[in-house]
Homo-oligomer: A and B are copies of this chain.
């Protein structure tokens, strides 16, 4: 049996959960709940508890590589990815590592993301162009940075190329030139709903990862209404800190679940008027 591709896995994840929520797993040693502080495997134990508390509410989990790498915790990241794949096979696994390098090195990064960590998709920086994305697309799913959630994303991404912003050109490159090579999608911050609307027009039905709701301040309803496809799908709406650190004591997992339910429901509410019409 051929393993399912990223797009098929995501369609199943949406269907199984009835949710477009993605929980980002960014373990920060300074914010570990009291019962885990100082434990050598705190990152893994913390993330497993969050995963167990929210797995029925999400279409995807998104471990963030830097938070493990800064702590010498790649073995914990591996164990976490195995845990998610084994326990919650309907949930899509996105490795948020923002890779991007020339061909022979991109091959090595693809081995890391899809072989070592078993991710369904990895976030990739588009600056190096199509040939640098191809090794990733051959081995798994790719979510290309398009318009990132940070305040300074306009520095480069809004530069005007023949009368349209660079991020729109990137969206078109991915939709037209990357898509024939494999299962891809885009990343657009929830902090930029108007830009998300434009990207959706260019990207057709491609999945769009939308980080930046919660702590970064993106408006959930505005982002969902801007990015959802005509059939009410197409998004991975991602929150990290607002769910992970909803409580700092031993109620952290319950508090994370409560925060995740609220966000999942807010996404569902936001989709309704778009799909049902006025």
Which A residues are within 8 Å of any B CB, using their own CB? 26, 64, 66-67, 69-70, 72, 74, 78, 98-103, 105-106, 108-109, 111-112, 115-116, 125-132, 145, 148-157, 159-162, 166, 169-170, 173, 177, 216
From B131, B145, B173, contact of A150 by CB (8 A): B131
CB distance A70 to B126 under 8 Å? no
CB distance B105 to A67 under 8 Å? yes
Q: How far is the CB of A171 from chain B (nearest CB, A)?
A: 12
CB distance A70 to B155 under 8 Å? no
Q: How far is the CB of A167 from chain B (nearest CB, A)?
A: 9
Query: Can you list 25 residue pairs at the A/B interface with Cβ under 8 Å?
Result: A64-B105, A66-B99, A66-B109, A66-B112, A67-B105, A69-B74, A69-B109, A69-B116, A70-B112, A72-B116, A100-B100, A102-B148, A102-B149, A126-B127, A126-B156, A127-B145, A127-B156, A129-B152, A129-B153, A129-B155, A129-B157, A130-B152, A132-B148, A156-B170, A156-B173
| Interface contacts beyond A64-B105, A98-B100, A129-B148: sample of 13 additional A-B pairs, CB < 8 Å, sorted by A | A66-B99, A66-B101, A66-B105, A69-B112, A69-B116, A70-B108, A70-B111, A100-B100, A129-B152, A129-B155, A130-B152, A131-B151, A159-B169
Q: How far is the CA of A162 from the CA of B164 in the complex (A)?
A: 11
Chain copies in the assembled complex? 2
CB distance B151 to A128 under 8 Å? no
From B26, B70, B101, B152, contact of A132 by CB (8 A): B152
Q: How far is the CA of A110 from the CA of B155 in the complex (A)?
A: 21
Q: How far is the CA of A127 from the CA of B150 in the complex (A)?
A: 11
From B26, B72, B156, contact of A128 by CB (8 A): B156
Which residues of B lie under 8 Å from residue A109 when comparing CB positions?
Answer: 66, 69-70
Q: How far is the CA of A145 from the CA of B128 in the complex (A)?
A: 9
Given known A-B contacts A70-B112, A105-B26, A159 and B166 have beta carbons under 8 A apart: yes
